[in-house]
Amino acid sequence: MMLRIDPRDFISPPYVRCPKCGEDSLGVLSIGPRHYQRRCKNCLYPGRGDWSAIYPLPALTKRIIYVDQFAISNMMKALNPSTKAHKKGNLDPFWLTLFQHLDSLCKLQLAVCPRSGFHRNESLLSAYYEPLKQMYELLSGGVRFREHESIEISEICEHAMNWARGKPKEKISLPVRVALEGNLDGWTDTIGVSIRGGWGIDWVDRLREDRKRVCERLNGVVEMWKEDKDKDFQDWFTQECSGYGRLILRGYNDYLVRLADMWQGRIPATADDLFGAFAFSSSVVRSLRFTFQNAGFKPKRVQQLWVEYLQSASFEDVPFVRISAMLFAAVARKFARGGRRKPVNEGLVTDINIISVLMPYCDAAFIDNECEAYLREKPLCELLDYKTKVFSLNTRADFLEYLAEIRRSATKEHLEKVEEVYGPDAQKPYTTLYEGIQSESSK
């Protein structure tokens, strides 16, 4: 079979008059971060090498909004007629309204909702992986968070350099490019590419087992929390932070032992050796070595530094450790005081990981009720000085108002430029995203 591609297939509205043939057929060929290009669908003006139909675009500063998986799931169900929840007609109208607000802001180039590995992993555990993927990819505009291990290691290495310079309390800089990649503050093309991942059943089963194992381990700790009624929040926080470096060092030593056993054929390689705690500890050590080498330390001193750092440094000033420790301290306090009795679930552990790693890099985050409540408690709301605005279902009206305010902040000139590039219906939400598709499940 021969596939023939015509340049005209890539030319889309809005159309203006062509200076060569005089027809209203000069459409948009491509949109780049800082410019867009027109071409005539009738006469294919301009020709190769002619730059006369390339137009500059102004710089953008988009709001970065993290949307949690439960919201992605509910927005998908609100639009997807093949889901059981949609067929029953009992979905909260809020989810359709939320989608309309978010998609319009993204199309107006005012905001972006980056996708993340957390979205991917949680979607893989659902019967609706592909429809969920369509939702978070649409809102992401091609922007994604790096894998959380990469973000964590970047923060650790910056903290390590501060420690080596004698300034362990110096604030981590948190540039967004540490956490995000893609066309963050550029204009978004109307053509996107989505790759269907070949995730095997073994990978999905491993995700389920990992979540279950972590949850069971935490519920074991919960029993100890219930008995420690004399501890205050600072005690819990210090306990959560202490020993983090030594934990990595112990994981690295275990990794070396396992590596030797694998080389000798005594044990088989497992997924944990590539993706789990063993691999993370090894990546941290390699990154610390590189960081100290790149800073000009001699090889012998590099070996001493990374060991000393992991043995002695306090990690409470590493953002993801600090946020995670505070959230777990809040949970521990609630159990110790009898404010919570039911065991923690897998979702809570995942939510704390997401908030700890991604929240500092966002302008706003829409998360679950429980974690938002913890973040509003004292002393968390006083000690976590990140500027991220946090919302949940309990504050849904505030979130919609926040999104509406972003829309109102757009200047007339910006809106005119959006219409010039994308047409008069640019902000119209894509409510027909799932029209005509077959669901992966009738669930």
Q: What is the pLDDT along the chain (443 residues), one digit of tens a residue?
A: 566 778 889 999 999 999 999 999 999 999 999 999 999 999 999 988 888 899 999 999 999 999 999 999 999 999 999 998 888 888 999 999 999 999 999 999 999 999 999 999 999 988 899 999 999 999 999 999 999 999 999 999 999 999 999 999 999 998 998 999 999 999 999 876 666 665 566 767 777 887 888 888 888 888 888 888 888 899 989 988 888 888 899 989 888 888 877 777 777 766 555 555 568 899 999 999 999 999 999 999 999 999 999 998 889 999 999 999 999 999 999 988 887 778 888 888 899 999 999 999 999 999 999 999 999 999 999 988 889 999 999 999 999 999 999 999 999 999 999 999 999 999 999 999 998 655 444 34
Residue 382 placed within a domain: yes
Residue 40 placed within a domain: yes
What is the number of residues in the chain? 443
Give the pLDDT confidence score for residue 441 in this predicted structure: 42
Assess whether 193 and 210 both reside in one domain: yes
Whether the Cβ atoms of residue 297 and residue 305 lie closer than 8 Å to each other: yes
Assess whether 90 and 15 both reside in one domain: no
Based on the structure, what is the number of domains in the chain?
2
Residue 151 placed within a domain: yes
Q: Which two tokens stand for residue 222?
A: 């919960």
For residue 47, the enclosing domain spans 7-56
Q: In angstroms, rounded to a whole number, what is the distance separating the alpha carbons of residues 92 and 98?
A: 11
Give the pLDDT confidence score for residue 273 in this predicted structure: 52
Q: In angstroms, rounded to a whole number, what is the distance separating the alpha carbons of residues 48 and 288?
A: 49
Assess whether 12 and 123 both reside in one domain: no
Place of tokens 């279950």: 212
Assess whether 119 and 32 both reside in one domain: no
Assess whether 11 and 100 both reside in one domain: no
Residue 413 placed within a domain: yes
Assess whether 96 and 23 both reside in one domain: no
State residue 4 phi and psi, 5-degree precision: -105, 125
Q: What is the pTM of this model?
A: 0.91
Place of tokens 């994308």: 422
